[in-house]
Amino acid sequence: MPLSSLKIVGFKSFADPTTLNFAPGVTGIVGPNGSGKSNITEAVRWAMGEQSAKGLRGERMPDVIFAGTQLRPPLNLAEVTLIFDNRGRALKNDADTLEITRKIFRDGESEFYINKKACRLKDIASLFMDSGIGKESFSIISQGKVEAIFNSRAEDRRSIIEETAGVHQYKVQKDTALQKLQHTSDNLDRVADIVTEIE
């Protein structure tokens, strides 16, 4: 499921519409310090649903919008689109090409789209769940992440292995089912109380 293209406009240092096309194989991005290399991987993570502004080196999510320079006024919208070649159906969708778009406005409201159709953050998360990519996956290894994995607790390392092995989705489904069971059990207790009161 190669990421074939990335379109960025108004995200961090990318004030102008910018398209990066990735050829098969390895792509290297080189540039001087502060030229925006990390902003590219952050744009990818953000479009996949990153919810932590701090994880993107900001205080609030609208900080990802181009903040302006001495020569250019700030913008009010950031938009990132990831284009995946999905002919191998690695992502759970029947389309051969998948365009994932995220927009954010100055008021902080984010919008998500799959193939130009508005969707929820949850839909983006389930699209990537157990695909091996995603905002929490290990397809994007940022500076310091390797040390963080080695130094993490055994439980956290286990969840990394589960995510990689593709069992994470079943754990999420199990947790949801257990919550529903608990809810139903609470309701039954309430019914039993009422029945006792009536008797």
Residue 13 burial (C-beta neighbours within 10 Å; 0-12, 13-18, 19+): middle
Judged by CB under 6 A, how many residues of this single chain contact ligand ATP?
14
Comparison of 67 and 119: residue with beta carbon closer to ligand ATP: 67
- Interatomic CA distance for residues 187 and 19, integer angstroms: 54
**Closest distance between ligand ATP and the C-beta of residue 176, in Å?**
36
Backbone φ/ψ region at 175: left (φ over 0), alpha (ψ -120 to 50), beta: alpha
Binders of ligand ATP in range 163-182 (CB under 6 A): none
- Contact by Cβ (8 Å): 10, 89: no
Comparison of 38 and 139: residue with beta carbon closer to ligand ATP: 38
- Return the structure tokens found at 11: 């995200």
Comparison of 35 and 187: residue with beta carbon closer to ligand ATP: 35
Which residue is it, tokens 């098969």?
Answer: 24
- Interatomic CA distance for residues 157 and 163, integer angstroms: 10
Candidate residues 34, 59, 94, 196; the one interacting with ligand ATP per rule CB under 6 A: 34
Is position 196 an interface residue for ligand ATP (rule: CB under 6 A)? no
Is position 66 an interface residue for ligand ATP (rule: CB under 6 A)? yes
Whether 38 has a binding-site annotation, put simply, is: yes
Candidate residues 35, 97, 115, 152; the one interacting with ligand ATP per rule CB under 6 A: 35
Whether 33 has a binding-site annotation, put simply, is: yes
Comparison of 2 and 36: residue with beta carbon closer to ligand ATP: 36
- Interatomic CA distance for residues 114 and 92, integer angstroms: 12
Whether 36 has a binding-site annotation, put simply, is: yes
Which residue is it, tokens 């990335």?
Answer: 6
Residue type, 114: I
Is position 12 an interface residue for ligand ATP (rule: CB under 6 A)? yes
The residues near 20 (Cβ < 8 Å, ≥ 6 apart) are 5, 6, 8, 40
Candidate residues 1, 20, 36, 119; the one interacting with ligand ATP per rule CB under 6 A: 36
- Candidate ranges 58-66, 81-89, 174-182, 189-197; the one touching ligand ATP (CB under 6 A): 58-66
- Judged by the rule CB under 6 A, the positions of this chain that interact with ligand ATP are 12-13, 31, 33-39, 63, 65-67
The annotated binding site for ATP is made up of 32-39
